[in-house]
Amino acid sequence: MSNFSDLIDGYYRFRGTEWLEERERWAELAEGQSPRVMVIACSDSRVEPATIFGSRPGEIFVVRNVANLVPPFETGGGLHGVSAALEFAVTVLKVSEIVVLGHGACGGVKAALAGNLKDAAPGEGGFVASWISLLDEAREKVIAAHGQGEEGQTALEQEGVRTSLKNLMTFPFVKERVEAGELQLHGAVFAIKDGKLRVLEGDDRFEPA
């Protein structure tokens, strides 16, 4: 496992190999980015979108937070980190696709499913509880159908992606472009255990890619 000094070693490896081999590409990238896809993924250390999708620097604009959540459109009350990234990706970079990428064994989903942090104080689980309250509605639906066991976990990982996709559509600048056919939204879940990627198909089911 790496600590910061290992990461510095890793930087030297990168700088001494990949960077040099793609020096010209990096010079181009320094001029500006023009990714075509935005990916919203979990902060989980096992779910690097660039690794899972084999993308190269410059190809995907990435937001990562606990449980790959997108809050709904809301203009008041404080900072909106995901909304800012979304606004930048859609209206400035003009990405043509957004992917919400969930994953198996997600700690955030697990906490949502368990529901045992509800009264935790900030710093003792309270921030996580508040954040994953975005899954409250999905949670109820999932528990009713699948319970709180392993099946419920998988179902909520998928339902969470659906929730974020729905929330994306509450942003006027997203909805408008989707309806104009300029922007596509995708959902996917990566199961760490068997390395399988399931993609949300037209009929609202997750199917292996």
The interface with a second copy within residues 154-193 (CB under 8 A) comprises 171-173, 184, 186, 192-193
CA distance 137 to 149: 18
Please say which residue, 92 or 144, places its beta carbon nearer to a second copy. Answer: 92
CA distance 188 to 73: 22
The reply to whether 118 sits near a second copy by the rule CB under 8 A is no
User: Could you tell me which of 154, 60, 161 has the C-alpha nearest to residue 102?
Assistant: 161
Q: Determine the size of the site formed for a second copy (CB under 8 A).
A: 105
The reply to whether 86 sits near a second copy by the rule CB under 8 A is yes
What mask, x for binding a second copy by CB under 8 A, covers residues 120 to 159? Answer: --xxxxxxx-xxx-x-------------------------
The reply to whether 116 sits near a second copy by the rule CB under 8 A is no
The reply to whether 16 sits near a second copy by the rule CB under 8 A is yes
Beta-sheet pairing, 196-200 with 184-191? antiparallel
Q: Is the dihedral of CA 189, 134, 41, 86 positive or negative?
A: positive
Q: Which of residues 26-85 bind a second copy (CB under 8 A)?
A: 26-27, 29-30, 32-37, 43-48, 50-66, 69, 71, 73-75, 77-85
Cβ-based neighbour number of residue 203 at 10 Å: 6
